[in-house]
Amino acid sequence: MKTRGKPGVIWQARGRVTTRAPLRPVSNSGSIARVNRWPGMVSFALALVLLSGCPSAVLPPYPGSLISIAVRISPAGARVGRVAASSHAAPAMTLRLGDAPATFAGAIAVEPGLHSVAIEVFNDADIRVGGASFRVSSARGSPALLDATVQVLAPEDTGAAGAPTVDAIVAPRSSAVQGERMLLQGVVSPTAGLVLSWTAAPSGCGTFAQPAAASTEWTAIARGPCTVTLTAAGANSRDRRSVTVVVRSQGRSFEYPLQVAPGGRYLVDRRGTPFFIKGETAWLALANLTEGEQERYLADRGAKGFNLVEVMLTNHDYTTSPGPVPPSNRAGEQPFLKPGDFSTPNDAYFDRAVAFVDRAAARGIVVLLAPGYLGFDGGREGWWQELNSPVNTRGVCAGFGRYLGTRFKEKKNLIWLAGGDFAPPAGSEGEARHREILDGIRAAGASQPWTGHWNVEHLGGISTDQARFLDVMALNGVYQYASPYRYAGRAYDVQPARPVYLLESTYEHEHPGTATQPFRKAWWWTMLSGGTGVLWSNNFLWMCETARGVHRAEYGDTDRALSSWSDELESRGTFEALYLHAFFEGLPWHRLVPAGPSSGLGQLVSSWQWWGERRIVAASTPEGDLLVAYVPPTGSGSRSFNLDLSRMRGPARARWYDPSAGAWFPVAGILPRAARVAVETPGTNGAGTNDWALVLEAAPSP
């Protein structure tokens, strides 16, 4: 949540404190490199810098979409010096060696739309010896996929003429939500006399409308990675190619209510399915949006795979004309018949709030609901002053809680949020009354889980920080801007264990030019420090100010962008959140354990570690089959470090992931099972910065 003219602190930049307003510094040793956030259309480095090996090259503007390319050279024994890819809209770039012999990989940035992609193969003397061209359609969001086979002219080529070849598979995106459909296109030769078949692994992860055709409509079914394969069979031989599409979960695939899994580390639905928190904060959606606008918002977020939205039940002072005058909603209804008197709830107002929860349920979205947002520093943005009013005695607060509990007790898609940007002083009357509301809700039969949003001494906090509320905190949310990995690690260590998740950090369009940028790094730091999900947001999306139309972001420290909440449904931050979702839903995220003494794994990054903004975080499965690391941005160029792979169950294959563009890049060769293995990041990424995620998977036994 943001403040207007209030002192407060939740992050620190090098040599000075960066503000929402005046802030108190946190203790944080080590070197912190300042990182400037990308503008709306950022420099895209993958094509011309990362893959060409020229970090100093001038970067072109990022045109809005990406095509990921994998190339297999045929015959496998051909002598290849380099492979280049280009399109009519993008200059030629050199592909990197892939993770298997005679394979190459890379990505090109293009305007969204239909493109002709040319692939050229050169021998050691830089003479062109082969090439092919393919039509690929790209769009904003996850990269399009082109997996191609290129024949080369080689004296040693003794392949039989007429043997079937799958020349390419083209997929319009590398990730899809359950139930989403896409056209998969196969290119085969020769075109006659072949038997074609599409298959998916694991079985049931997707279905094909025309499984025996070169091109087919495919429907995403089961969450997780889905490898689709096209096989072309001739009389005496066959060929096949594959691409992997990550299927992201859709909220309606879960059976609510949620509960904490045995062991306490993550949430599950009623069937025991792990629930990855893919949340967004829309604090003022209940107050500032009409029912039709709420439906549009929830439909969009549900279709994109978001499964949780955070809102405040009542808006105390966050909007001005022409928006609703707080605490009214868009219908002009007040939450209390007598202003500030909790004993006089207005049924009409709360009927609309209940309807919002039902509307979210229809989209498979959980509502994280703050029944009495307290406000930054207990100031005018929240209800702390009214909570301490003589009229709102402990008995009145308990009664208001029972009223809310009765209203919401049947809602299965609900989690309650205590606090709200403020931690009541221990032993205060306000603290006691806030607890009475909570207890009243529970006493009325509302048994949904609770979490807390506390700002402790202007340093943020975790949900278990408030002793008075500790016993009811089922989830441990992290509210931190500067060092979310430290707070997440502290939350992970709390016993008994509770699911850890990022509750709030820097939002899109806010705090530009500070050390908290790019804001996505908070998500990755948290996830690999014990997290089970992330809430993110955007200045326009959390304020939901429809009545202002297109307007400037000006509440708090912003970049003063000109936009609206509806335009921001397709923001750069939205897509970066979807890249995070696709990454972790393509892995067994719920099995990951963060590095550190408390987890029993020890330190996975074995070279000297920096604290502050340079901190590399890593997590692994106890079985040693998977290790994931996040290398935060320090500017541009590559970073080198050592990993302790001695606990892996064997040698590992590795691949890099660009968190700003959603693209994968394989690492050539196999990494050994050793205590000190050197790795180096690819360089500058698609946002013009240099943060990367690394995945290592133990190679299968021969």
Model confidence band, residue 49 (pLDDT cutoffs 50, 70, 90):
very low
Q: Which CATH number characterizes residue 693's domain?
A: 2.60.40
Domain assignment present for 572: no
pLDDT bin (cut points 50, 70, 90) of residue 76 is confident
pLDDT at 227 over 80: yes
Per-residue confidence band for 467, with pLDDT thresholds at 50, 70 and 90: very high
pLDDT for the residue 607 = 84
Q: Which two tokens stand for residue 515?
A: 């050390």
For residues 16 and 683, which has the higher predicted lDDT (pLDDT)? 683
Q: Would you state the torsion angle of the CA atoms of residues 277, 282, 286, 292, taken in this order, to the nearest 10 degrees?
A: -90
15 lies in some domain: no
Same domain, 272 and 126: no
The pLDDT of residue 701:
63
pLDDT band, residue 702 (cuts 50/70/90): low
The yes-or-no verdict on residue 119 having pLDDT over 90 is: yes
Query: Is residue 45 pLDDT above 70, yes or no?
Result: no
pLDDT band at 15 (very low <50, low <70, confident <90, very high): very low
pLDDT tens digits along 672-695: 999 999 999 999 998 999 999 999
Is 70 exceeded by the pLDDT of residue 485? yes
Q: pTM for the complete prediction?
A: 0.92
pLDDT band at residue 436, thresholds of 50, 70 and 90? very high
Residues 531 and 473 in one domain: yes
pLDDT at 140 over 60: yes
Give the pLDDT of residue 144: 97
Question: pLDDT tens across 558-573, in order?
Answer: 999 999 999 999 999 9
Residue 299 and residue 374 in one domain = yes
Query: Is 4 within a domain?
Result: no
pLDDT digits (tens, 9 = 90+) for 385-417: 999 999 999 999 999 999 999 999 999 999 999
Residue 38: is its pLDDT beyond 60? no
Distance CA 256, CA 361 (A): 9
Is the same domain home to 363 and 456?
A: yes
> Is residue 46 very low, low, confident or very high in pLDDT (cuts 50, 70, 90)?
very low
Least confident residue range of 69-78, 398-407, 440-449, 566-575:
69-78
Give the closest residue to 372 by CA, choosing from 355, 359, 360, 389.
Answer: 389
pLDDT for 39: 33
Residue 511 lies in a domain: yes
Q: What CATH number does residue 423 fall under?
A: 3.20.20.80
Task: Count CA within 13 A, CB hemisphere, residue 149.
Answer: 20
pLDDT tens readout for residues 19-37 = 233 223 233 332 222 222 2
- Residue 46 covered by a domain: no
**Does some domain include residue 372?**
yes
Q: Comparing 192 with 185, which gets the higher pLDDT?
A: 185
Residue 47 within a domain = no
Question: Residue 699: pLDDT band by 50, 70, 90 thresholds?
Answer: confident
Q: Is residue 37 part of a domain?
A: no
Are β-strands 206-208 and 181-189 bridged in parallel, bridged antiparallel, or unpaired?
unpaired
Task: Sort 591 into a burial class: Cβ within 10 Å, 0-12 / 13-18 / 19+.
Answer: middle
Say if residue 299 is in the same domain as residue 431: yes
Are residues 299 and 210 both part of a single domain? Answer: no
Tell me which residue of 520, 484, 516, 517 sits closest to 503, measured CA to CA: 484
> Of residues 63 and 563, which shows the higher confidence score?
563
The helix (run of H) or strand (run of E) holding residue 540 is helix 539-543
Counting Cβ atoms within 10 Å, is residue 160 exposed (0-12), middle (13-18) or buried (19+)? exposed
Closest by Cα among 524, 550, 307 to 413: 307
Claim to verify: residue 496 and residue 620 sit in the same structural domain: no
pLDDT beyond 70 at 159: no
Mean pLDDT of all residues belonging to the chain: 89
- For residue 527, pLDDT beyond 90: yes
Is the pLDDT at 143 greater than 70? The verdict is yes
Query: By three-state DSSP, how is residue 418 classified?
Result: strand
The dihedral sign for the CA sequence 422, 425, 429, 433: positive
Q: Which helix (H) or strand (E) holds 394?
A: helix 394-408
Residue 36's pLDDT is 26
Yes or no: say if 47 and 108 are a contact pair by the CB < 8 Å rule. yes
pLDDT of residue 41: 32
Provide the 10 A C-beta neighbour count for residue 346.
15
pLDDT > 70? residue 451: yes
Given a contact cutoff of 8 angstroms between Cβ atoms, the answer to whether 284 and 319 are in contact is: yes
Whether residues 667 and 632 fall in one domain: yes
Contact predicate 503/488, CB 8 Å: no
Residue 354 and residue 221 share a domain: no
Give the number of domains in the chain.
3
Note whether 597 and 328 are within 8 A (CB). no
Nearest-angstrom CA–CA distance, 175 and 278: 15
Same domain, 407 and 519: yes
Boundary residue ending a domain (248, 268, 284): 248
SS3 content of the chain, % helix, strand, coil (to 5): 20, 30, 50
Q: What local confidence, expressed as pLDDT, does residue 154 receive?
A: 54
Taking residues 50-69, what's their average pLDDT? Answer: 59
What band does 235 get if pLDDT is binned at 50, 70 and 90? confident
Model pLDDT for residues 489-511, shown as the tens digit of each residue: 999 999 999 999 999 999 999 99
Q: Is the pLDDT of residue 474 over 60?
A: yes
In this predicted structure, what is the pLDDT of residue 302? Answer: 98
Tens of pLDDT, residue by residue over 269-311, are 999 999 999 999 999 999 999 999 999 999 999 999 999 999 9
Mean pLDDT (whole number) for 630-656: 95
Q: What is the percent of the chain with per-residue pLDDT over 70, rounded to a whole number?
A: 89
- Shared domain for 478 and 377, answered yes or no, is yes
pLDDT band at 585 (very low <50, low <70, confident <90, very high): very high
Answer with the one of 225, 248, 271 that is the final residue of a domain: 248
190 and 154 Cβ atoms separated by less than 8 Å: no
- Examine the domain organization and report whether 546 and 630 are in the same domain: no
Q: Which domain holds residue 621?
A: 594-698
Residue 51: pLDDT over 50: no
Q: How confident is the model at residue 163 (pLDDT cuts 50, 70, 90)?
A: confident
